[in-house]
Structure 1
Amino acid sequence: MSNKAINFQKGNVSGKVSLLGAMVGPVQFRFSNDKVIQPFSIAPWANKEESKNDKLPPILKNLGGEWPCVPFGTPGTRRDLPPEWLRNIESVESVNEAFMHGFSSNHEWQDISKSSQEAELSIEYPLKHPVKGLNRKISVTDNNQLEFELLVETEQPVELPIGLHGTFKLPNKPGKAKLMIDSFKGAYTYPVTVEPGISILKPNQKIEDLEQVLRLDGRVENMTTLPLESVTEELILLDLSEGRIRLQNYDEGYEVVFEWNIEQFPSCLLWYSNKGRDYYPWNKRFQAMGIEPIASAFDLGVVHSRNASSPLREVGIKTGFRLEGEDRFSYRISVNEI
């Protein structure tokens, strides 16, 4: 297991980036009244020297914070989906990707930082992969915001699902946090139950109001007031007109603002991890709000994201990004007191 990390500090912001997966977090934001806010969720098993952890997929070993996923989603092609999700998938070409959320989420990056005030990392992909490599830079603005730059290099033009994986802390008590989504157009629950026997939402439904999402038991759930009362794991894909989501934490008196280019990441996957997984390493002890800007069909991987016949493509939702040589992505995460 890798505990290697880059430390950075500028102004009132300091943090670290793990070389494994280039995951940023924890990050401390200091305010004028000596208040310190650390908004990222870090898994309770992360960086622990436990023999069980050596057997985990690399992406889980230091799980937490925020990192890029190229390609975004699972390797292989799920076939246990509703019929409309399986139309024409046999004719869709896959890529040589064996890792959840891509090669870069599961391997060590190289530290190429030029200053202790920022972190810069790079990684080369295997020779037969359509992606040549990634470069990731994390800096702090004069307004104490985190500024991210991601460069994706490819040898030839290729369409892939891509995404950013932000994982944020929640209060312990239900209802003490709130998702604020100003440009909501619509949303969709996962095509199948996320965790059978655990998840509470009715799968494969279109959502008109995030405060009234249909449950399996016929009731409705407000998916903006957090944490949820129910132990569960859920995935909801948002269709947005603007790349901006706020997460307010009333317990600690702050809000996180995640901003990105909606032309590059037209959707956002919300991951509600509410202590629903009872197997190792989760053991009902992980609670976080995942805010994941994507161009992807949920986390279903390359084939489903490339499938022009998928339900999301048919309603005009872009589920991939055409990479052409050198593509740059910029986005920002800031923390404000409330």
Structure 2
Amino acid sequence: MERWLRLRAGPLDLAFDPEVGNIRRFTLDGREIFHTAHWVGTPAAEAAGSVIDAHLAGDFLAAPFGTSDLVSDPPHGWSANSRWHPVVRAEDGACAVMKLALEREVMGAKITKELRFCDGHPVLYQRHVIAGGEGGLTFAHHPMFRVSPGDRIAYSPKRAAVSNAPLETAHILAANTRSEDLTRFPGADGGTVDLTRYPRGSGPGETGSGKTGHEDFVTLIEADTGGIGWTAVSRAAAGDIVVVLKDSRVMPVTMLWISNGGRDYAPWDGRHDGVLGIEDGCAAGAEGHRAALGGNAVAREGVVTAFALRAEGRITLRHAIAVLKQPSGWRGVARVHVGVDRLTVEGLGGGSLEVPFDGTYFSV
């Protein structure tokens, strides 16, 4: 029996794993857009130590985000570790829709998921509704992409970028610091790191261990928390531009996971490199669940880092991933604009690209 649930529309094809809650594959014209860790589906996955790492691929909703120090849920919550059951799989006019419900509650809240493809749109639309519950909840999307050294990364305007304690000994970003200039984030070696390009490599880890890889995590805080936030990655090897869009009213931060060979233990084995996680959500970066409910480095930038659940309340998370073909001579993204029925991507040095897009999606 097929484990995955499929959603198809024209050249778009999606496979969702209902047992662990992740979008296992997302393809356009048969080409995979998401990253899958090299150990997934092999015996080496048993060394991962968690459900998340054993099935590390695609995108999933983390709620609570990270490892909670307030509740006993597994890392990234039951939303990424337990079963979702399908409610609807149907054609909805010009769109193909899959709706699912998480079987377990998260801090007393019920969570539903909607995945949607629309005819002619090279876009994965994704919506979650979190209803009821009690307490302060953190959450984030977790899409992962394969990138190449030097690939350009562009963003909607940010207030600042903030780092926490390093994930691993081998890292290139300075710990517990901030910068308003994304092209010159303080580096662990005393220099600076350009967050608008995927790193080309690094020197030894901070302890002089001789590692050449690195593992880094940094939180970007949205400047306009009432609009649409976006991250656009121009991928040279894939020949495309991936644009990740979010409703910054409920997801005021974008957390970047730069996994570039900095974990030398199983099943990572130093081979998990060239991976970028674009984690849009509401959290205190890597400080943790408890910190997100009080004072923390991200909250001091003036944004909410946890949403208060209420018995009669509900939170709607709107998120979309668009994929555009990269033209010859493309230098990177300057701006992204969402119109009534179009997504426009403006290039560095001039020129623009357009694709069909549901401009009402973030305003409903």
Q: Which TM-score tier does this pair reach, normalised by the shorter chain?
A: 0.7 to 0.9
Q: For 1:310 and 1:110, locate their aligned partners in 2 and report how far apart those are by CA, in whole Å.
A: 36
Which amino acid in structure 2 is aligned with residue 146 of structure 1? L
Contact 1:161/1:301, CA 8 A, preserved across alignment: no
Any residues of structure 2 matched to 1:60-209 within 5 Å, and which? 60-76=53-69, 94=70, 96-115=71-90, 117-125=96-104, 130-142=107-119, 143-156=121-134, 158-171=135-148, 174-175=149-150, 177-190=151-164, 192-196=165-169, 198-209=170-181
Q: For 2:2 and 2:283, locate their aligned partners in 1 and report how far apart those are by CA, in whole Å.
A: 30
2:39 to 45, 57, 60: 45
Where structure 1 has 5 or more consecutive residues not aligned to the other structure, the ranges are: 31-35, 77-93
Q: For 2:21 and 2:237, locate their aligned partners in 1 and report how far apart those are by CA, in whole Å.
A: 29
Any residues of structure 2 matched to 1:254-269 within 5 Å, and which? 254-269=240-255
Q: For 1:203 and 1:212, locate their aligned partners in 2 and report how far apart those are by CA, in whole Å.
A: 14
Name the CA shift for 1:55/1:329 in 2 (closer, same or farther; >3 Å). closer
Alignment of 1:334 with 2:322, yes or no, is yes
Q: For 1:184 and 1:37, locate their aligned partners in 2 and report how far apart those are by CA, in whole Å.
A: 31
3-state DSSP of counterpart to 2:291 = helix
Which amino acid in structure 1 is aligned with residue 180 of structure 2? E
CA-based RMSD: 2.1
Q: CA deviation at 1:54?
A: 7.1
Please, what TM-score do these two structures have when normalized by structure 1? 0.83
Name the CA shift for 1:301/1:3 in 2 (closer, same or farther; >3 Å). farther
Which amino acid in structure 2 is aligned with residue 262 of structure 1? S
2:214 to 214, 232, 247: 232
Contact 2:159/2:301, CA 8 A, preserved across alignment: no
Q: CA deviation at 1:202?
A: 1.1
Name the CA shift for 1:151/1:251 in 2 (closer, same or farther; >3 Å). same
Alignment of 1:222 with 2:177, yes or no, is no
3-state DSSP of counterpart to 2:115 = strand
Sequence identity of aligned pairs in percent?
22
Structure with greater contact order relative to length (CA < 8 Å, sep ≥ 6): 1
Q: For 1:101 and 1:291, locate their aligned partners in 2 and report how far apart those are by CA, in whole Å.
A: 15
Name the CA shift for 1:186/1:7 in 2 (closer, same or farther; >3 Å). same
Name the CA shift for 1:101/1:300 in 2 (closer, same or farther; >3 Å). farther
Q: CA deviation at 1:260?
A: 0.9
Q: For 1:200 and 1:55, locate their aligned partners in 2 and report how far apart those are by CA, in whole Å.
A: 24
Q: For 1:315 and 1:55, locate their aligned partners in 2 and report how far apart those are by CA, in whole Å.
A: 35
Aligned pair count reads 304
3-state DSSP of counterpart to 2:167 = coil
Q: In the TM superposition, what whole-angstrom CA distance separates every residue of 1:50-89 from its partner, at most 9, and x where no partner exists?
A: 175276311112111111111112122xxxxxxxxxxxxx
Q: CA deviation at 1:162?
A: 1.4
Contact 2:48/2:267, CA 8 A, preserved across alignment: no
Q: CA deviation at 1:227?
A: 4.3
Structure with the higher strand share, 1 or 2: 2
Q: For 2:156 and 2:263, locate their aligned partners in 1 and report how far apart those are by CA, in whole Å.
A: 31
Q: CA deviation at 1:113?
A: 3.6
Contact 2:60/2:80, CA 8 A, preserved across alignment: yes
Where structure 2 has 5 or more consecutive residues not aligned to the other structure, the ranges are: 203-212, 327-364
3-state DSSP of counterpart to 2:249 = coil
Q: CA deviation at 1:123?
A: 1.4
Match of 2:339 in 1: none
Alignment of 1:25 with 2:12, yes or no, is no
